[in-house]
Amino acid sequence: MVRKVTKAIFPVAGMGTRFLPATKSVPKEIMTLVDRPLVQYAIDEARAAGITEFIFVTSRGKSALEDYFDHNLVLEQDLKSKGKDELLEVLNATNMESGAIAYIRQHKALGLGHAVWCARRLIGDEPFAVMLPDDVISADKPCLQQMVEAYEETGGNMVAAMEVPNEKTSSYGILDTGQNVGTVVRAKGMVEKPKPEDAPSNLAVIGRYILGPSVLYNLNQKKKGSGGEIQLTDAIAEDIGNGVPVFGYKFDGQRFDCGSKAGFLQATVSFALAREDLREDLNQYLHDIVSSDRAAQ
């Protein structure tokens, strides 16, 4: 019987240098996409998938991220006294109950695999999810929920996967694909950031994973891979060699790379246009600015 996935790791120790100078004082994960920080989209997705324990792997300078999930009693009381019940409900949805959230420090930037390894003692021998808040996915059914439902049928390890242009394979972990059953692809291997001419496919791994504790054992060996870092992809690939099945799940939805400025802007426009309270004004503005070839000076 496949064990239920209730824990998720959120690796958020990165410095966010691509968004300087904003990230000099504001952690990238709480930069605002429309009116919610990036990390809130990941938390909401995790909750929809049945996650009840949230583990953040952080670094120095992330205190604002921790404060975001805390109760703000003064603000809550102010909204309540003014009868702003809708805003109070929105605010309460961001709170995390005591014991539901934990913070682990990654003292050295040694790679995504190392960040996941840092949370090993809180995972123990249970399956767990890994969610990268930089990858924001718009979907009718949240991506991780789709994966959890598929995982209950397959077991093993599962990674979210999407096709990318061949020239982009050097930016992703790439699956060496085997058996293909609809949205689920069994992987024969995984390669981290291969050159286009060396890529076994164009099916890329993006920031959603459901993994077994054997991956943590592999990470415990601290083998360095691409870029001299401890790669999560390598630890998952090692499981394939040890006979543990690994599946790529071709999710239904649109992924935005909010770790890049262009991707963040694209997500902002897309999510804003999906809002009834913003759609009309934004549509009109976009039409006007495109037709007049006018931009901010």
Alpha-carbon distance of 53 to 180, in angstroms, equals 32
Q: Rounded mean pLDDT of 99-118?
A: 88
Quote the percentage of the chain above a pLDDT of 90: 51
pLDDT of the residue at 157: 94
pLDDT of the residue at 108: 85
DSSP classification of residue 122? H
Query: For residue range 17-62, what is the model confidence (pLDDT) as tens digits?
Result: 888 888 888 888 888 999 899 999 999 999 999 999 999 998 887 7
Please, which pLDDT band fits residue 66 given cuts at 50, 70 and 90?
A: confident
Q: Check whether 247 has a pLDDT greater than 90.
A: yes
Q: Say which range, 246-255, 262-271, 276-285, 288-297, has the weakest mean pLDDT.
A: 288-297
Query: For residue range 6-19, what is the model confidence (pLDDT) as tens digits?
Result: 999 999 988 778 88
Please, which pLDDT band fits residue 297 given cuts at 50, 70 and 90?
A: low
Query: For residue range 180-202, what is the model confidence (pLDDT) as tens digits?
Result: 668 899 998 888 888 999 888 88
User: What's the number of CA atoms in the CB half-sphere (13 Å) around residue 262?
Assistant: 0
Angle of helix 73-81 relative to helix 85-92, nearest 10 degrees, comes to: 160
Q: Which of 132, 112, 94 is nearest to 255 (CA)?
A: 132
* Structure token digits, residue 272: 């804003």
* Structure token digits, residue 165: 């242009």
Position of tokens 């390669």?
191
pLDDT of the residue at 246: 93
In order of their start, the domains of the chain are 7-259 (3.90.550.10), 260-297 (no CATH)
pLDDT of the residue at 14: 82
pLDDT of the residue at 18: 87
* Torsion sign (Cα): 71, 72, 75, 77: positive
End-to-end CA distance of the chain: 60
Please, which pLDDT band fits residue 179 given cuts at 50, 70 and 90?
A: low
